Amino acid sequence: MTDYDYDLFVIGAGSGGVRAARMAAARGARVAVAEVGRLGGTCVNVGCVPKKLMVYAAGFADAFDDAVGFGWESTNPAFSWPSLIAAKDLEITRLNGVYQRLLNGSGVEIIEGRAHLADAHTVVVGDRRFTTETALIATGGKPFVPDVPGADLGIVSDAVFSLPELPPRVAIVGGGYIAVEFAGIMRGLGAEVSLIYRGPLFLRGFDNDIRATLAGEMAKRGINLCFNMEVDRLESGADGGIRVCGPTGDEVDADLVLWATGRVPNTGSLGLEELGVELKENGTIVVDEHSQSSVPGIYAIGDCTDRMALTPVAIAEAMALAETLNGNPTAMDYDKIPSAVFSNPPIGTVGLTESEARSHCREVIVYRSSFRPMKNTLAGRDEHTMMKLVVDGATDEVLGVHMVGPDAGEIIQGFAVALKCGATKAQFDATVGIHPTAAEEFVTMREPVADD
């Protein structure tokens, strides 16, 4: 037993902070967690969870349309935005309670309020001071808004989940996963959508075939893709709406503008710079392989570090840190982490993109298939699925698996296990497919695409 009030004090009760607190407490540590907002952080309250619920809601539009092709008589269902928001709020409140019970059941003390560090072993919350042997920063991130005239006429993704009604026309500025996901959601729920991105193609960092395929499918759905358009300013429109203006005269009119231009870490008010904690230029905390900052005793995990901003990654970092603090130094493995984008259609991906593989390997073999899913034949829907394998020609190891199409995230999760085990293309070929499914295409692709 030390002279400190706590063995571990966690600042931030998001997915990573809560998991670290619970795991440390389970190992006998005295733990407190401070949170200024609702338990669960971004993911539970204004991120993954409510967004996925909205993705489900938007998907019913396709289901109603497709049902006619399968013999169901046509109906004219009506959508109620307030009903969706109310149902979403109930679920988020339930999850907040789950997080509170998990922390209470683990013996973790929950301290409400904004915290900062007075020194490496002292946390201040309001007018209270607490001492701790170890401090963990798990404060996550927040949306970034460009500094342009009229920027305050737009909103960020956090605010979408509490809008009183669905806007008829939505302009989304950005080209990351948040932008494409909300474009699909808003379009599926009935809004006219324009997606504005300064580059030639969105989702920078994803495989190029994924990017091109999704752009084509989104255009088919009537989403106005405004690529190569910089946003110079926002103006109030004559019709009571908002006009998005570019420097070369490009204009898009909307009733709501959503800034989806990236996220920045929540590290500005923690007192880190005063303590000598090394930060990168973007404000993220520099940590070593065991999540320790440049100041001994201060650790950081999740989106406030410059690693991989995914909820499951933050949770895995928390579990590795709990082992480290328990005397078993454990480093997080960032190799072959799968991810999904819940666009419409969705994306699933794991491993290297084709361009990454070509920069690492002397010989790369690519297998690619594009087809119309079986469900779409009777539905009459013009939507295609794309699947792709990236293979090391020298070792036959499958380096990357990529997909655009229904259930992509569910399908890629299983193939991520195979890649983690070092599966080869020959082993993919030797696996019997489940017929008729889309997933079987991954084990039946035999002919590589021509090498350009």
Distance of CA 103 to the CA centre of its chain: 24
Query: What does the pLDDT read at residue 240?
Result: 84
Per-residue pLDDT band at 190 (split at 50, 70, 90): very high
pLDDT category at 76 given cuts 50, 70, 90 is confident
Q: Is the pLDDT of residue 238 over 80?
A: no
Alpha carbon distance 368, 448 (integer Å):
7
Q: What is the pLDDT of residues 435-445, one digit of tens each?
A: 999 999 999 99
Q: Give the model's pLDDT for residue 325.
A: 97
Say whether 151-261 and 6-142+264-325 share the same fold: yes
Architecture of domain 151-261: 3-Layer(bba) Sandwich (3.50)
Q: What residue segments make up the domains of the chain, in order of their start?
A: 6-142+264-325, 151-261, 339-443
What does the pLDDT look like over 296-305, one tens digit per residue? 999 999 999 9
Partners of 193 in the β-ladder? 170
Q: What is the model's pLDDT at position 35?
A: 98
Tens digit of each residue's pLDDT (9 = 90 or more) over 95-131: 999 999 999 999 999 999 999 999 999 999 999 999 9
Angle at which helices 48-67 and 81-106 pack, to 10 degrees?
A: 140
Phi, psi of 141, rounded to the nearest 5 degrees: -135, 180
CATH 3.50.50.60 fits 6-142+264-325, yes or no: yes
Q: Give whole-number Cα distances, 193 to 128, 167, 168, 226, in Å.
A: 48, 10, 9, 10
Residue 239: band (very low, low, confident or very high) from pLDDT cuts 50, 70, 90: confident
Q: Which CATH class name applies to 339-443?
A: alpha beta
**pLDDT-derived band of residue 1, with 50, 70 and 90 as boundaries?**
low
Q: Report d(CA 7, CA 30) in Å as an integer.
A: 5
Pair 265, 303: CB distance under 8 Å: yes
pLDDT tens for each residue of 160-174: 999 999 999 999 999
pLDDT tens column, 364-412: 999 999 999 999 999 999 999 999 999 999 999 999 999 999 999 999 9
360 carries an active-site annotation: no
Instruction: Answer whether residue 2 shows pLDDT above 80.
Output: no
Residue 11 has pLDDT above 90, yes or no: yes
- Cα separation, 378 vs 145, whole angstroms: 44
Is it the case that residue 36 has pLDDT exceeding 60? yes
Please give the full DSSP string across 147-160, using - where no structure is assigned.
Answer: --TTGGGSEEHHHH
How many CA atoms lie less than 13 Å away from 322 in the CB half-sphere?
A: 23
DSSP 415-451: HHHHHHTT-BHHHHHHSPPPTT-SGGGGGT--SPPP-
Q: In one letter, which amino acid is 375?
A: K
| Confidence (pLDDT) at 42 | 96
Which of the residues 121, 384, 402, 435 is marked catalytic? 435
Average pLDDT of the chain?
Answer: 97
Question: In percent, how much of the chain has pLDDT > 90?
Answer: 97
> Is pLDDT above 70 for 452?
no
Taking residues 415-423, what's their average pLDDT? Answer: 98
The DSSP annotation for 315-343 comes to HHHHHHHHHHHTT-------TT--EEE--
pLDDT at 333 (0 to 100)? 96
Where would I find the beta strands (DSSP E) of 138-190? 141-143, 155-156, 169-173
Residues 327-376: tens digit of each pLDDT: 999 999 999 999 999 999 999 999 999 999 999 999 999 999 999 999 99
CA atoms within 13 A on the CB side of 276: 6
